Amino acid sequence: MDPQEQDGMSPDSLYNNIPGYEAMLSVSTGELCHPPVLSEQYARPEIQSSCPTWEIPSLSKEDALKALLMYASEKTCYSTKPAKEGVITNMEVFDTYRYRLETFTETRTTEWCHMPYYGQTIDTSGQIPPGPWEMEVKTPPFFFDSSETIEVPHTAFVKMCHFCNAVGTTLCFTCSGACFNRCSACHGSGYFSYYPNMQICWTCGGAGRLTCWDCSGEGRLTCSVCSGKRKIKVSINLVVNWLNSIDEDCVELSSGLQMFKLRSAPGISVFTDSNYMVYPVTYFPNPTIAQISERLLKEHRERFSPTSRTLQQRQTIEVIPVTKVTYEWKEESHVFFVYGTDGRVSADDYPATCCGCCPLM
């Protein structure tokens, strides 16, 4: 018998007690490996001593009306007259800040795996396998989700197949080993219709049964676990998952524009900070940004530290231009918003619609 080959037909004896992985005997897959507690090994970045500066071109009245005209033209039941005939009476700028935090983490789990044993070389050196976090794994580019599965060295061994009891075949599930199945055309009677006009079933020839199509009448199938080899190779796999988690929040200004519309609106990046660990933003014109930054950083630290290792963080601040435009049409005052760097329009009270079927944007 192979020195690494072991008997064991029961589930409890399927796996070995491998040093460092004893806890895996009670589970089959997904044993979470908590990262080691590491001291902060990266120097704290210099505190930002000056606030970023930026300049956003102001929106002209002509461009505002052009944006409103395009907005109305895209809707089948909107008249373009308010955009063509309206007179702008006031324009207010409400620049909105969007803070985004990205945390790129690595999570490691271990799981048992087995495959047919075709005579593969098995490590018989008896060395102690490395721990889940001791294995060197190449990190993919930061901020992109990825995963990799690797066999843990010195954990492989050979066992007799537990699924077929080392026979190499299993009872056919389709016919339960009977080699035949009841004919579905005549329901096993061997005849079509009933007395006195009985006709022999042309599908089964009157036998009432057909050779099992799954096992070809053998009554047994090749074992799906060992592929008929009677032995399986058992080992531990390390599953590494890299995940980029993103959270963001906007500083609301009292413009009247619904905040959810700003979630996907493009803005102008005015601040970017990337490091192993970033720290709350300081010296920013709007103090609420610092509060949001501190809150999200704390949430990410509490969420990921117990189960994952943080490899990189990135925080960015964008300015989303928002212009509130007041205009008159037919001696009535109306309001619309132009927001985002791509000139999106929100006009909830557009005055010239023929029905209410068009969605408001």
Calpha distance 60→46 (Å, rounded): 40
Please report whether residue 273 resides in a domain: yes
Calpha distance 303→37 (Å, rounded): 15
Please report whether residue 198 resides in a domain: no
Please tell me the pTM assigned to this model. 0.78
Q: Which residue has the higher pLDDT, 7 or 128?
A: 128
Mean per-residue pLDDT, 159-166: 93
Domain assignment of residue 327, given as a range: 61-102+244-346
Please report whether residue 302 resides in a domain: yes
| Per-residue pLDDT at 214 | 92
- How many domains are there within the chain? 1
Closest CA to 243 of 310, 314, 294: 310
Is a pLDDT exceeding 50 seen at residue 35? Answer: yes
Please report whether residue 339 resides in a domain: yes
Token pair recorded at residue 294:
């501190």
| Per-residue pLDDT at 197 | 74
Instruction: List C-alpha distances in Å: 139 to 30, 101, 103, 143.
Output: 21, 20, 15, 11
Please report whether residue 55 resides in a domain: no
Is a pLDDT exceeding 90 seen at residue 248? Answer: yes
Pairing, β 199-200 against β 191-192: antiparallel
Mean per-residue pLDDT, 177-195: 86
Please report whether residue 20 resides in a domain: no
Calpha distance 75→48 (Å, rounded): 47
Q: In which order are the strands placed within the sheet that holds 332-339? A: 87-93, 322-329, 332-339, 344-346
Please report whether residue 139 resides in a domain: no
Please report whether residue 41 resides in a domain: no
| Half-sphere exposure at residue 278, Cβ-oriented, CA atoms within 13 angstroms | 26
Mean per-residue pLDDT, 222-244: 96
